[in-house]
Amino acid sequence: MAEGNDTGKGLDRTLSRRNFFKVSGMAAAGAAFGLGLSSVSHAAKPPTVSTVSNDTDYWQWVQDQFVLDPDIVYMNLGTTGSMPLRVLEKYNDYNILNARHPRTFESELGATFGLEDQRATLAAQFGCNTDEICLTRNTTDGLDAVVNGLEFNEGDEILITHHEHIGALSPLNVLQDRYGVILTEVEIPVLNVTDKDQFVNAFEDKISDNTKAILFSHITYKTGTRLPAKALCKLARKKGLISIVDGAHAPGMIELDFHDIGCDFYAAAGHKWQCGPGATGILYLRNGGRDLPTFWTQNSSLYTYTAQSYARGEYDIAYSLQYRGQLNIPAHLAMLESCALWEEIGRGRIEEYVCGLGSYLKQRLRDKFGSTGTLFSPDLPGFTTGLTAFNPFADITDADLITTMVDSLHEKGYQVRYTNFRVELEDAEDAYALRISTHLFHNRQQIDGLVDAIYDVL
C-alpha cells in the first residue's frame, strides 16, 4: 500500500507505527460494509498505455480502482461521486492519525496543516495562482461565499439562466429579498443547441444598465449541457460585469483552466466527478488583473485580522476565506489524492473518455428509441458531457412515469435519477427526464445494458 509522498517523513513514521490500524481497520470496515476491500486490486500508479495491451484494458484498470458495488451500475455522479480505494485509504489513514493524536497535523503537515501546499497543488492543476484558490465544503459553500461577499444594492440586476441549481438560487434569492436585487432569467437553448453564439446572444440581449453580474452553470444539472464559459466570461468582461460560474459538475469530468476561462469566480465540487470525500469543494476567486470587484469575506476566521473591506489584489483573498474555524483536513487530503490520481491518468484523457461515453449513450438512445423518446442533451463537440437527460415516454411532463422508471431501473441494477425543468423559459409545465451520469469507471457494455433496461421497462 503506497504512502502519499506529500506527507513528509514524520507522518510516514507515524503511519507505519500504527500500520496495524490501517490494515486491519480498513479490512474490518470493508468486511462490515461488505466491500471486500482487501480483494480490490490496485496499483499505486496507473499503468502507462504501453504497459496495457489496449485501451479497454486501461479503462478496466481504472474501473478496478473503485470499490463500487458490482451488483448496481452507479450512474448518479451528478449527485455525488465514489472515492477510489486509494482515496479511501488516505482518508482513513488521516482520520486514524487525527483520532490518535488530535493535534498531530500541525507537526506532521507543517504550519497551518499544510494548507498552503494543498492550495498550491490545486492551483497548478486548475490553471490559477495559489492566492486565487481555496478548499471549501462544496459548490453551495463556494457560491454562498461569493454571492454574499460581493456588494449588491437595491435595483442591481444579476442575470442567470433558466436552468440554475438551488445551490446558486438560494443565496441569490436572499439578495433579492434582503436588498431588492433583481434576478433576471435568460432562456438558454435546450432542444436546439447548435453553437455558442446562441448562449452569448441570449445573455447579451438581456444586459441592461442595471446589470451588475452574470451567473451560469458551466454544465447544467438539468440536461448536462456544457455552456461556452469562456465566451460568456468574455462577454461579461466586455460589458464590465462580474462573472460567477457554478462549476459543480466540471472538476473531475472536464479539464479546467480558470485563467483561460477568464471568469471572476468559479465554485465547484470535489465530491462529485472528482470523487473526493463528501463535503469537499474548490473555489476560485480571481485575484489579479483588471477591475477586481469589492469583496467582503464572509464566514472567515480572519476578517478582523487581515481583511477589512478591501480592493482585492492586495491580499490573498482565498486565504482569508480558507481559514474558517476547524477544517476537515483528512477530507482535503483525500480529495487531493483523488486529484493526484486524475492527474496521473490525465485530465484531458478523462474528459475525452467521459464525453465519448456520453456521446455513445446519446447515440444508443437515438438508435433504440428513435423519435419516440426525447433527448434533452446536445450531442455536439464542445457541448456534450457525461450527463445525459432523456425521456423515453411520449408525455414528457408526466412525473409519475419518470419516477416509476427510475425505481424500476434501480431494481434492474442501474442507479440514475431524474430532473425536471422548463424547456422554454415561459413554459407553464416542467418536462421530466432520466438523468444518467457516465464516468471514467463505466464502459460501453454498461451503457448498452442500461439502454436495454430502459427499453424493457418501457
Ligand X SMILES: Cc1ncc(COP(=O)(O)O)c(C=O)c1O
| CA angle at 396 for the pair 227 and 200, rounded to the nearest 5° | 20
C-beta of 30 vs 171, nearer to ligand X: 171
Under rule CB under 6 A, residue 140 binds ligand X: yes
Under rule CB under 6 A, residue 167 binds ligand X: yes
| CA angle at 214 for the pair 189 and 263, rounded to the nearest 5° | 105
Q: Which amino acid is at 382?
A: G
The Cα–Cα gap between 325 and 206 comes to: 41
Binding span for ligand X by CB under 6 A among 33-41, 111-119, 134-142, 418-426: 134-142
Give me the least distance between CB of 139 and ligand X, in Å please: 3
Under rule CB under 6 A, residue 165 binds ligand X: yes
Binding span for ligand X by CB under 6 A among 5-13, 136-144, 176-184, 399-407: 136-144
Give me the least distance between CB of 54 and ligand X, in Å please: 34
- Specify the 3-state DSSP secondary structure of 246: strand
C-beta of 157 vs 246, nearer to ligand X: 246
Which of 138, 320, 419, 437 contacts ligand X by CB under 6 A?
Answer: 138
Cα distances from 244 to residues 206, 236, 257, in angstroms, run 17, 10, 15
Give the phi and the psi of residue 132 in degrees, each rounded to 5: -120, 5
The Cα–Cα gap between 227 and 347 comes to: 19
Give me the least distance between CB of 311 and ligand X, in Å please: 29
First and final C-alpha spacing in the chain: 46
Binding residues among 72-91 for ligand X as defined by CB under 6 A: 79
The Cα–Cα gap between 157 and 153 comes to: 9
C-beta of 217 vs 385, nearer to ligand X: 217
- Specify the 3-state DSSP secondary structure of 301: coil
| Cell representation of residue 41 | 486490486
Site string for ligand X, 250-289 (x = CB under 6 A): -------------------x-----------x--------
Whether the CB-CB separation of 186 and 159 falls below 8 Å is answered with: yes
C-beta of 104 vs 299, nearer to ligand X: 299
Site string for ligand X, 189-228 (x = CB under 6 A): ----------------------------x---x-------
Whether the CB-CB separation of 387 and 249 falls below 8 Å is answered with: yes
Binding span for ligand X by CB under 6 A among 65-73, 100-108, 133-141, 237-245: 133-141
DSSP 317-360: HHHHHH--SS--HHHHHHHHHHHHHHHHH-HHHHHHHHHHHHHH
Binding span for ligand X by CB under 6 A among 135-143, 193-201, 309-317, 348-356: 135-143
Under rule CB under 6 A, residue 144 binds ligand X: no
Which of 89, 246, 255, 337 contacts ligand X by CB under 6 A?
Answer: 246
Query: Which parts of this chain interact with ligand X (CB under 6 A)?
Result: 79, 138-140, 165, 167, 217, 221, 246, 248, 269, 281
